[in-house]
Amino acid sequence: MAERIFIAVNRWVLVLLLAAMCCIVFANVVLRYLTNDSIVWAEEVARYLMIWMTFLSAGLALRAGMLVSVSQVHGRLPAAPRRIARLLILAVLLVFFGWMVFAGWEYLSRMGRQLTPATRIPFSYIYYAMPVGFGLLLIHTLLLARRFLAEGHFDHATEADVAAVKG
């Protein structure tokens, strides 16, 4: 139940970010067309929203099996080595995601005091996307770890997920 709520909240945040980005870009295009003037901060904010969407959606993409993977070697191994390979893959993913949370936090700490050009907000608000996104990846991976070790895959993409990606 908690996992479903976690996934739903993750998805709704992405929906809201995408809606905000679309509204800002649409308003900017309409304003530019009608008045020959544009919203000064629209491009910048849309770019930062896209950065946040990229990091926040990575865990859902991992969960749905939509990230690039090399499965040829893994698929050709006998059962016991395949399980060891899955354990090694899982360990590498968890260590990498954990390290990226730390690296993102370090980068945020060093560079976050600068201000964005148009909106004059601290870059830290944008740089938070990296540790938060990799933290979500870490949580999604931990939630799927047992299934991955047993079955050798994360969740399969549902028809709705595939249709959403294809547009």
Residue 167: what pLDDT?
A: 46
Over its length of 167 residues, how does the chain's per-residue pLDDT go in tens digits? 889 999 999 999 999 999 999 999 999 999 999 999 999 999 999 999 999 999 999 999 988 888 877 677 777 888 888 889 889 989 999 999 999 999 999 999 988 889 999 999 999 999 999 999 999 999 999 999 888 888 876 665 555 555 544 44
Cα–Cα distance measured from residue 44 to residue 126, given in angstroms and rounded to the nearest whole number: 11
b or e along 123-155 (b: 16 or more beta carbons within 10 Å of the residue's beta carbon)? beebbbbbbbbbbbbbebbebbbeebeeebebb
Q: What's phi and psi for 122, nearest 5 deg?
A: -65, 140
Residue 71, both tokens: 């499965």
Say which residue the tokens 């070697």 belong to. Answer: 73
Cα–Cα distance measured from residue 116 to residue 44, given in angstroms and rounded to the nearest whole number: 8
For the whole model, what pTM was predicted? 0.85
Residue 158: what pLDDT?
A: 55
